[in-house]
A = this chain, B = another copy of it.
Amino acid sequence: MKYSINIGIIGYGIVGSGAVKILLMNADDIAKRVGIPLNIKKIVDLDITTDRQIGYNVSNFLSTDVNEILNDPEIDIVVETIGGIKPAISFIKSAIEKGKNIVTANKELIAKYGFEILPLATENKVDFMFEASVGGGIPIISPLKSSLAGNKIHEIIGIVNGTTNYILSRMKEEGLDYVEVLKDAQAKGYAEADPTSDVDGFDSAYKITILSSLAFNSSSKVENVYREGIKSITSQDIKNADEMGYDIKLLAIANENDKCQVQARVHPTFVPKNHPLASVNGVMNAVYVKANAVSETMYYGPGAGSLAAGSAIVGDIIESARNILTNSTGKISCNCYASKEMISIENLTGKNYIRIIAEDIPGCIASISKIFANNDVSLERITQKETYNGIAEIIWLTHESEEYKISKSLEEIEKLPVVKEIGSRIRVI
């Protein structure tokens, strides 16, 4: 008979301190929902002097020595929120091997080493839970594992990075350019000093790797995810999109075709304004799932933040605590029982928005159009925008076309003497 579940928390930063605050703030209700209290036994961080201002005094629990968690046989659940691969991976493996259940927010670790860690957890009959790794506080991992488990999932489309969604939303609302908004976002703490992981799509790529593995029951490799960030998007692209009935969002998309091949990709995308994802603005995230029984469902909420990510962490702790009390830990892991080929973006078929900067001289549009035609790319719409100093901006919207035909066309178009630059090429959902 257990009288409490003991928790050790490795990493007392934004996410870790959010989880600690929630465990203390909602302790009474949580104890009743679990059946017995959840007890924070130890919090480990390199920095145990900075006050995290959570409104509770946790100084008695703080330590800089991770072994006080790993070697404490009374600790049932280890929460890892330090992020990154090293040393997180060795802490997690050690904890699993000691029979501790793991709750983590570490998307990079799961995307890169999930194939190794999840079976280790199953082998050791411990829980390995990672709701906080995708979509912050949005329940999406759990629905994929359970509520939707009767479905064959066809496609997952997510806005899973709050920083880029915030930047794109503000670029649209205020007509500002990327660099301006990024600076302001950094000043406000919505973007990091080095924004690469967000704006170049790495963060989204980790997350779609995780969702793809869960949805298609096959371990997806992050290096097979096509990745393109938002740096080349201009306020003019956003304005053009708006005029054509679209919003531009950085989407993370994974789908399985009827040959059981999986494709995963991250890129800016034209989203029709009436699509549920179009109205997901600012730092909010959403994940849209298409499946063969339920058709479409969407999950919406805050994609980041101390208490939002903390909410997902504590939800996992509660679920694991319930499993501990019923001796049923280690029940569901990734469930990657299949081994599906991942195919490249060259196999994609879709519409493309293309912005070309060219000399405004007779025959220019004709010569570009001819290249598209020679490559079997048919066009839905051509619009010539403003001309300055003899240089025109020409907007092309293709019909559905194979990715490689568009790419080949653009390679050839770029070489035309009249063409100054391929300004943008954005896929349409």
Binding site for B on A (CB under 8 A): 18, 22-23, 25-26, 29-30, 32-33, 131, 137-139, 142-143, 146-152, 217, 276, 279, 291-302, 305, 307-308, 310-319, 322-323, 326-328, 331-332, 335, 337-338
Contact = CB atoms under 8 A, between A and B. Distances in A.
Main SS of the interface on chain A?
A: mixed
23 contacts: A22-B151, A23-B150, A25-B292, A32-B217, A32-B337, A131-B147, A137-B294, A138-B297, A139-B143, A146-B315, A147-B312, A148-B311, A149-B315, A150-B313, A150-B315, A276-B279, A293-B307, A294-B301, A296-B301, A296-B302, A297-B301, A298-B298, A327-B327
A314 B299 CA distance: 20
A259 to B, nearest CB: 16
A142 B147 contact: yes
Given A148-B315, A217-B33, A300-B276, A137 B26 contact: no
Given A131-B147, A143-B143, 10 more contacts: A138-B297, A147-B315, A151-B314, A292-B307, A293-B307, A294-B311, A297-B299, A300-B300, A326-B327, A326-B331
B294 A307 contact: yes
Nearest to A325: B331
Contact of A308 (B29, B295, B301): B295
Contacts of A307: 292-295
B300 A297 contact: yes
Nearest to A32: B337
Contact of A311 (B293, B298, B311, B337): B293
A294 B276 contact: no
Contacts of A327: 326-328
Tally of this chain's copies: 2
Nearest to A21: B293
B146 A142 contact: yes
B295 A149 contact: no
A307 B322 CA distance: 31
A360 B405 CA distance: 67
Contacts of A295: 137, 301-302, 305, 307-308
A295 B407 CA distance: 43
Nearest to A26: B152
Nearest to A151: B311
Contact of A29 (B217, B298, B301): B217
A310 B335 CA distance: 22
A149 B308 contact: no
A310 B295 CA distance: 11
A228 to B, nearest CB: 27
A319 B310 CA distance: 25
A-B pairs with lowest CB-CB distance, top 6: A150-B314, A139-B147, A297-B301, A137-B294, A326-B328, A294-B311
Given A301-B298, A328-B323, A293 B276 contact: no
B335 A308 contact: no
A146 B293 contact: no
Contacts of A32: 217, 335, 337-338
Contacts of A315: 146-150
A218 B301 CA distance: 25
Contact of A293 (B310, B326, B338): B310
